[in-house]
Amino acid sequence: MKNNYLKTLLLFFAAGIFFIGINSCSTTEMKEEAPIIGKADLKLESDIMTPEVLWSFGRLGDVQVSPDGKTLLYGVSYYSKEQNKSNRELFTLPAEGGIVTQITKTVGGEYNAIWSVDGSKIYFLAAAKKGNGLQIFSMNLDGSNRMQISNEPEGITNIKLAPNGEKILFTCEIKVDDIVKDIYPDLPMADAKLYDDIMYRHWDVWEDGYYSHVFVADIVNGKVKNSKDVMEGEPFESPLKPFGGIEEITWSPDSKTVAYTCKKLKGKEYSLSTNSDVYLYNLETGETTNFTEGMPGYDWQPLYSPDGTKLAWLSMARAGFEADKQRLFIADLETGKKKDYSENFDHSPFSMQWTNDSKSIYFVAGVFATHQIHKIDLETGEINAITEGMHDYHSVAIAGDQLIGTKVSMVKPQEIYAVNAESGEETELSFENKHILDQLTMPTVEKRFVKTTDGKEMLTWVVLPPKFDANKKYPAILFCEGGPQSPLSQFWSYRWNFSIMASNDYVVVAPNRRGVLTMGQEWTDQISKDNSGQAMKDLLSAIDEVKKEPYIDEENIGAVGASFGGFSVYWLAGNHKKRFKAFIAHCGVFNSEMEFMTTEEMFFDTWEKGGAPWEKNNKVAMKSYAGSPDKFVQNWDTPILVIHGGKDFRIPYTQGMAAFNSARLLDVKARFLYFPEENHWVLTPQNGILWQRTFFDWLDQHLKE
């Protein structure tokens, strides 16, 4: 249900391939005789997308521009159905376009690749041969002279080179707190966890006494030496869990200071707060200062200007609200003055990039269900959009006199583009998935506006099947967005993929209902404390309007969604008045009171519901809990597929159990798809393909037969 905008974007946009790759590949010693997972050389039997084809796309990301601006370094993750895992390889490409060169071909995969300061070498993370997790490696630009240069006992998770090239920072998990076996060493085989406070598990892991800390180290004769824990002894983490990455940590241009993001709270305080801060660690003195002290919401993604006179970062104003507007703050380091440069910009920047003269910043922001590259001039404060169109840019970087960005749409996975900084003209560079896309007939995406019950114009995506015939009638799917504050933009997903839904001959109706991001903060705010109110009316308005089209079979319509979308499906199941013939809910909230008491980030439900379920005199909270889907379960009369992951600690799997059990006790046809080892998402190939097959089998049974 909870889906913080920036954190989620970071996972899928910048760091997603890195983290997904690590989770999917063993970090122990790799056997080189095992098959290497690489680019799929597919000859398709049909021009219609299937689950197997979807999982054959290369997942490109983490583009790094060389110091001279002439070459791009990036990674691509490939997935194997047979091996049920992924592998990630590194590639280079001229920034002006041209021949792609694969520079690694290994079993274990390479992650977080960066350039050396002079551009002569590449540093990256890979599995150590001795089995102590991921370590730092270096190699030449052609992949030769590959060497392991670090040997940290706990393994390494992120790296960033100092501007002077003499130091490197990295993150790794360090033991800080005692666990059962430390407290009772005479019980080494005791299998238990012992806690004195909440926040004892997060996303998909139980707290185990380890915390991600920032380290700085010297590079001596090509080796990582003299590592120092910047956060020594602190029971806090950087980057932030669960989705934070290297974008939350940075060097000053003089290589003397490390700025990092941290939420220095524990237990109950941690679970109830969004108050992270930007901390500055001085390498010479060893002192740490809280640079954003007194700013109550999320403060993160610090980025020094090239001349070292300014520090930019992203900040949310309201404590406890993870979907607040992300403000672009910049501080003058000489005067100490801090200013919100996005005060008159009603959208949330991310993926910032200073210009070389330190006078402007490029960034990406979600604007009206798309994500576009923008530029802010610090002298005038003027913000201008560089790109436009039906697409989502995920990142922006500077390469000489042009910009480099990664872009997706609902009908195309991520590729690298060169962008003219003045005109916004785009040129595709990477073509990673052209060999597959050229064999497919893709759907058509239309944008339309639907009038809501309170008189608003709601942007709604309508995705039409390949080879669409307006004279035919198609079953339709109402897609219920998650979050509840997340963008329903031109995203490309490997599970909730509109192209594969439409390719199975369904018309997809995806409304930007109240609460979604990119429509301005007022629109976003209107779902808080009203989860089952206007947002649900918006969903029904969208399907009621679009189903009037002559090509939609209004007798065969389903509703699907995950997280808050699952909440929406459960709620609709009790309030739809025969509109739908099938439902699918993935990892949704069924009983809001129980979810409040079993989730981990308590600040989320405290904000969204307006308080705790035991606050009987709190009228706002009581109204929120009265709208919980379980309050209407007695009205369920329509087949429902329930999907949940066993390692989903955000919305525990017992929510799915409760919904499924209730359906069957009411003699409603239901199916329960449970993944013991998956979390809020489904990340492994065979589980992902099973998910797609079960999804379409259920819809086909009830909407086509």
User: Which residues belong to the active site?
Assistant: 563, 648, 680
Tally Cβ neighbours within 10 Å of residue 173.
17
Q: Decide: helix, strand or coil at residue 310.
A: strand
- Strand (E) or helix (H) holding 658: helix 654-665
Map tokens 């592998």 to a residue. 87
Q: Alpha helices, DSSP H only, in 146-256?
A: 180-183
- Terminal C-alpha separation, the chain: 32
Structure token pair of residue 552 = 């939609």
CA separation for the pair 560, 566 (Å, rounded) = 7
CB-based contacts of 478, cutoff 8 Å, min separation 6? 509, 511, 539, 542, 543, 557, 558, 559, 560, 580
Q: How far is CA 11 from CA 36, 243, 432, 500, 588, in A?
A: 25, 6, 20, 22, 21
Output DSSP code: residue 26. -
How crowded is residue 343: how many other Cβ atoms within 10 Å of its Cβ? 11
Specify whether the CB–CB gap between 608 and 323 falls below 8 A. Answer: no
* Residues, the chain: 705
Using CB atoms within 10 A of its CB, is residue 81 exposed (0-12), middle (13-18) or buried (19+)?
middle
Residue type, 607: W
Residue/partner pairs of 420-428 with CB below 8 Å, 24 or more apart? 421/375, 421/386, 424/373, 424/385, 424/386, 424/387, 424/388, 426/387, 427/97
The Cα–Cα gap between 463 and 368 comes to 17
Q: Which of 608, 611, 8, 1 is nearest to 321 (CA)?
A: 608
Question: Could you give the count of Cα atoms lying within 13 Å of 253 in the half-sphere of its Cβ?
Answer: 12
Instruction: DSSP for 360-384, please give it.
Output: EEEEEEE-SSSEEEEEEETTT--EE
Residue 116 exposure: Cα atoms within 13 Å on the Cβ side? 15
User: Whole-angstrom Cα distance, residue 494 to residue 504?
Assistant: 15
Buried b (16+ CB within 10 A) or exposed e, 647-681: bbbbbbbebbebbbebbeeeebebbbbebeebbbb
d(CA 397, CA 116): 17
Q: Tell which residue, 702, 448, 396, has the closest CA to residue 553.
A: 702
Q: Are 135 and 122 contacting, i.e. CB atoms less than 8 angstroms apart?
A: no
Q: Taking phi first (over 0 means left), then psi (-120 to 50 degrees means alpha), and beta for anything else, what does residue 202 get?
A: beta
Helix (H, G, I), strand (E, B) or coil at 398: strand
Residue 674, SS3?
Answer: strand
